[in-house]
Amino acid sequence: WRSAAGSPPRAVFAAHADEELVRVLESKIGDRGLSLHETAVLAATLETLVDEESLERLHTAYRSEGLRTFTDGAISDAEVERALDAYMAMYLFADDYINTSKAALERMWNRTHTYPGWNATKAWVREVRRDVVNQSSEPPTAFASTKLVVAEILRRYGHWQRRECDAMKKDLIALEKRGTGRVPLQRFYGAALSGQFLFREDKSYLRDLGALDEAEPAKPNVLVTNYISTPSNCLAGSRYYHVCCSAGCEELRAPIEREAGAPEAPAELIVEVVERLPPGSDQEPRTLPPTLLERLESIADMHGGLVPIHGRLFSQWMHHAFPHECPYPHLSGRVKLQKGSEWERQTGIKHLASKSRMQMYIDQCKVGEDRSNSTDDAAINAARMHWSSDEELALRPPEQTVLQQLQSAGHGLTVVSAAASLAAAVWHVSGVRTKALGQASQEVAL
C-alpha cells in the first residue's frame, strides 16, 4: 500500500486521526509502502476509528434530543427512534456532527425536509432496529442495544442505498442519446426544471468533476457513469469514508481479472470473456463492433502484445464497450473530485445552478440537438465517441521490457530522469512521451 497521489501519511490522516497514529504510519511506511500484514493492521485500525466515530455520533444524537445514554429502560421506543433519526440526519447531512448548535441542527433538519428519500430512510432504520432487537439479549431501549442497531445500520447502508443509485442511473439512461451513456446538457437541466430533485449541478462544477463531455463544445453531454460516482452524489459518510454510488464497472472487470490471472491479458482472451458477459442495461446481446476490436488490438500492440487491464486505455475501452457501467477515465490531474461545499469555497461559485442559470445553459445548447433515437448498435455509437491515445499505468512495467519494446519498434530513444515525490508509480504514455511517477520520470522521444 502506498498513499494516493504520493501524499504522505500526515496529509492523508492528520485531519482525521491523532498525532500518534500519524507518527506510527510515517515511521512504518517511509518510502517503501506497507506490506500485506501491515495493510491488514491499517485496515483494522481504520475500522476501530470508524467504530469510535460512530459511537461519538450516537452520543451526540442522544444529547441533541435531550436523552441520556445511561438510563436503560427509562426512555421509550419513540425516544430511541427519535435519537436514531437524529443519528441518521447527522450521518447523511451534518458536515460537522460535533457542532450541535441550534443553527447547525436546524440546517441539518432542514435538509431532511428536501431529501426525497428521508421517509424511506427512517422506515428502513426502524426495520433494521426490529431485526437487531429481536436477536439481542439487551433491553430494546437500552443504549447498548441502540449501539448494536447503529453498527448494523453502517453494515447494511451501502447496499440499501444502492437502490437510489440504480434509480438515478435509470433516470439518466432515459434521458441519454440511445446507447451512448451521454445525456445532452439541456435534457439534464430540463429534468431538473421539471421537478427532478437531482441533476442541478452547475456546468462548471460538472466539468471539474469530470462528468462533462465537451468533445463537441457547442453540444456538451453529461457522462452518465462519471456523474453517478461523483462526490456530489455521495450521500452519507464520515471523517474516514463516504458512501457513494458505483455504476458497476468492477463487476464487469472481475471476470477478466479471474480469467487472466495476471495484470495483463491477450486481446483475444478479453474479447472472449466480454462477449460471454450477460446483456447490459440495454438488454442486447454482447457483440463487439470492429472499431472496438481494432482499438483493443492497438492497446495490446502498444504494450508488447498484452493489454494492461488496469491501464487508462483499457479503462477507456471498457467505457466505450459498457457506457452504462464504466466511467470515462480522465487523465491524472484533470479532475477535481470535490464535495459541493469544498468546490464553492475554492471557486466562489455556487455548485448548484439556479433555475435561470439552467435555463441559460438550455438555450445555449438547443441549436443542433439531435433528439432522434438511433437504431444503430449501442456499442458502435459508443465507439464513435472521442478517443484519447493517452495511457496511464498503475504499476511501472519492467524497464527492460519498455526499452526492448521501443527498440524492437525501431524508434530512437532519449531519456531524461528527474526525481519525483509521488509514491504511486503511474506511467503516462501520450504517443510521444512516457512519464514514470515513482522513483523517476522519463521523457521518451519516439
For the segment 394-420, the average pLDDT, to the nearest whole number, is: 40
Residue 205: per-residue pLDDT: 97
What is the residue whose three cell numbers read 457542532?
99
Residue 411: per-residue pLDDT: 36
For a pLDDT cut of 70, what percent of the chain falls above it? 74
Residue 284: per-residue pLDDT: 56
Residue 131: per-residue pLDDT: 96
Q: What is the mean pLDDT of the chain?
A: 79
- Residue 29, CA distances (Å) to 21, 24, 55 in order: 12, 9, 29
Per-residue pLDDT band at 444 (split at 50, 70, 90): very low
Residue 88: per-residue pLDDT: 94
Per-residue pLDDT band at 407 (split at 50, 70, 90): very low
Report yes or no: 296 and 267 within 8 Å, Cβ to Cβ.
yes
Which of the pair, 438 or 95, is modelled with greater confidence? 95
Per-residue pLDDT band at 40 (split at 50, 70, 90): confident
Residue 14: per-residue pLDDT: 58
Residue 13: per-residue pLDDT: 60
Residue 10: per-residue pLDDT: 53
The model's pTM? 0.77
Residue 149: per-residue pLDDT: 97
Residue 354: per-residue pLDDT: 95
Report yes or no: 358 and 186 within 8 Å, Cβ to Cβ.
no
For the segment 215-234, the average pLDDT, to the nearest whole number, is: 92
Return the minimum-mean-pLDDT range out of 96-105, 301-310, 328-337, 358-367.
Answer: 96-105
Per-residue pLDDT band at 438 (split at 50, 70, 90): very low
Residue 153: per-residue pLDDT: 95
For the segment 319-343, the average pLDDT, to the nearest whole number, is: 92
Per-residue pLDDT band at 439 (split at 50, 70, 90): very low
Residue 223: per-residue pLDDT: 96
Per-residue pLDDT band at 356 (split at 50, 70, 90): very high
Whether the CA torsion 3, 207, 224, 121 is positive or negative: it is positive
- Residue 441, CA distances (Å) to 175, 270, 389 in order: 43, 30, 19
Residue 58: per-residue pLDDT: 94
Residue 308: per-residue pLDDT: 96
336, burial (CB in 10 Å: exposed 0-12, middle 13-18, buried 19+): middle
Per-residue pLDDT band at 400 (split at 50, 70, 90): very low
* 379 pLDDT above the threshold of 80: no
Per the DSSP assignment, residues forming a β-bridge with 418 are: 441
Residue type (1 letter), 299: I
* 21 pLDDT above the threshold of 80: no
Which of the pair, 422 or 128, is modelled with greater confidence? 128
Closest Cα partner for 328 from 161, 160, 170, 209?
Answer: 209
What's the rounded Cα separation, in Å, for the pair 157 and 199? 23
Return the minimum-mean-pLDDT range out of 25-29, 102-106, 339-343, 409-413.
Answer: 409-413
For a pLDDT cut of 90, what percent of the chain falls above it? 48
* 341 pLDDT above the threshold of 70: yes
* 338 pLDDT above the threshold of 60: yes
Per-residue pLDDT band at 238 (split at 50, 70, 90): confident
The 3-class SS string of the chain reads CCCHHHCCHHHHHCCCCCHHHHHHHHHHHCCCCCCHHHHHHHHHHHHHHHHHHHHHHHHHHHHHCCCCCCCCCCCCHHHHHHHHHHHHHHHHHCCCCCCCCHHHHHHHHHHHHHCCCHHHHHHHHHHHHHHHHHHCCCCCCCHHHHHHHHHHHHHHHHHHHHHHHHHHHHHHHHHCCCCCCEEEHHHHHHHHHCCCCCCCECHHHHHHHCCEECCCCCCCEEEHHHHHCCHHHCCEECCCCEECCCCCHHHHHHHHHHHHCCCEECHHHHHHHHHHCCCCCCCCCCCCCHHHHHHHHHHHHHCCCCEECCCHHHHHHHHHHCCCCCCCCCCCCCCCCCCHHHHHHHHCCCCECCHHHHHHHHHHHCCCCCCCCCCCCHHHHHHCCCCCCCEEECCCCCHHHHHHHHHHCCCCCCCCEECCCCCCCEEEECCCCEEEECCCEECCCC
What's the rounded Cα separation, in Å, for the pair 30 and 63? 42
Return the minimum-mean-pLDDT range out of 21-30, 354-363, 378-387.
Answer: 378-387
Residue 427: per-residue pLDDT: 38
* 404 pLDDT above the threshold of 80: no
Per-residue pLDDT band at 112 (split at 50, 70, 90): very high
Residue 122: per-residue pLDDT: 96
* 329 pLDDT above the threshold of 90: yes
- For 273-311, the pLDDT digits (tens) are 999 887 654 445 578 999 999 999 999 999 999 999 999
* Helix pair angle (36-64, 77-93), 10° resolution: 120
Per-residue pLDDT band at 7 (split at 50, 70, 90): very low
Return the minimum-mean-pLDDT range out of 6-10, 173-177, 234-238.
Answer: 6-10
